[in-house]
Amino acid sequence: MHAPTSLGEAFCQPRQFMEARDRVNKENSSNDKGSKVVWKGILISVQPRIRLLRSFDQRNHNYLGYALRVQGVADNGEREFSIGIGKSAQAKHQLRCGDIVSGQSLPVEDTQKEPVDYYKTSKLIIIERSITTQDINPPWHQVPPELEIYRQRGHRRLDPHTYEVKCQSCVWGCRLAVEMIIDQWNPGNKRYRFETFCYGPRSCSLYKAGATRKVPGRKGMTWEEPDWVDEQAVSHRGLEE
């Protein structure tokens, strides 16, 4: 992958950015529906954005779009933050790690249900494309595939520490927002957490499964997701796929 462009380069058009930010701040002050934040920065990852619904031993995926992790400026501060975009925006812009991008997004309303900080993104602009070369070793930084490909590939659980340290930039890594229905007879009884998964090749040298996932149920019961669930989810793929 092309070494990330410096932040100084990333903010090479400060006047336009400041003008856009001031314009949106002005619009926001007279807008009751919520305040869009103008952001800009370098993409340090593009991964699928998924919500996982668990009900004891049952699980269901909701493919929301893509999650951009950005090092840049949002809400008047320089920092790292994450942005949710839809699948059509990704199909149009073909974003990937190293691109310099700007946009406008709303802060997430319920942070338990979203794996990103901001969503409902508009005015997405690519300022500079990453000059990428093919990765020889993981993590992988190509343009991520369509969400349907992720669904077809299936995932294995990924150790959260390995994700943090080695897989955050990989197109096959993913941090899912998980909603757990504790009692199916009382669907309002829910808990939330985040889980990390890998959609990548089974042969990846960086992969570590980590501890099995435990799902709470009614009357204090717990279901421990066995290894065969992961094995079954990716068994249709060869080791290198």
Note the residues at the interface with ligand SF4 (CB under 6 A).
Answer: 138-140, 166-167, 170, 172-173, 198, 200-201, 204, 206-207
Closest residue to ligand SF4, judged by C-beta, is 200
Q: What is the spatial distance between Cα 17 and Cα 11, in angstroms, rounded to a whole number?
A: 8
Q: What is the spatial distance between Cα 137 and Cα 74, in angstroms, rounded to a whole number?
A: 32
Q: Where are the beta strands (DSSP E) in the chain?
A: 37-55, 58-74, 77-85, 100-107, 118-128, 156-157, 173-181, 190-198, 214-216, 222-224
By beta-carbon proximity to ligand SF4, the closer residue of 107 and 145 is 145
By beta-carbon proximity to ligand SF4, the closer residue of 40 and 96 is 96
By beta-carbon proximity to ligand SF4, the closer residue of 151 and 190 is 151
Distance in Å, CB of 205 to ligand SF4, minimum: 7
Q: CA dist 208 to 107, 167, 196, 199, Å?
A: 33, 10, 11, 13
Q: What is the spatial distance between Cα 40 and Cα 77, in angstroms, rounded to a whole number?
A: 11
By beta-carbon proximity to ligand SF4, the closer residue of 92 and 236 is 236
Distance in Å, CB of 47 to ligand SF4, minimum: 9
Contact 61, 151 (CB under 8 A): yes
By beta-carbon proximity to ligand SF4, the closer residue of 84 and 200 is 200
Distance in Å, CB of 154 to ligand SF4, minimum: 13
Distance in Å, CB of 91 to ligand SF4, minimum: 22
Distance in Å, CB of 148 to ligand SF4, minimum: 19
Distance in Å, CB of 33 to ligand SF4, minimum: 37
Q: CA dist 234 to 39, 43, 125, 155, 241, Å?
A: 37, 28, 36, 6, 10
By beta-carbon proximity to ligand SF4, the closer residue of 167 and 178 is 167
Q: What is the spatial distance between Cα 128 and Cα 42, in angstroms, rounded to a whole number?
A: 9
Which of 206, 213, 205 lies closest to 230, judged by CA?
213
Tokens found for residue 212: 């099995």
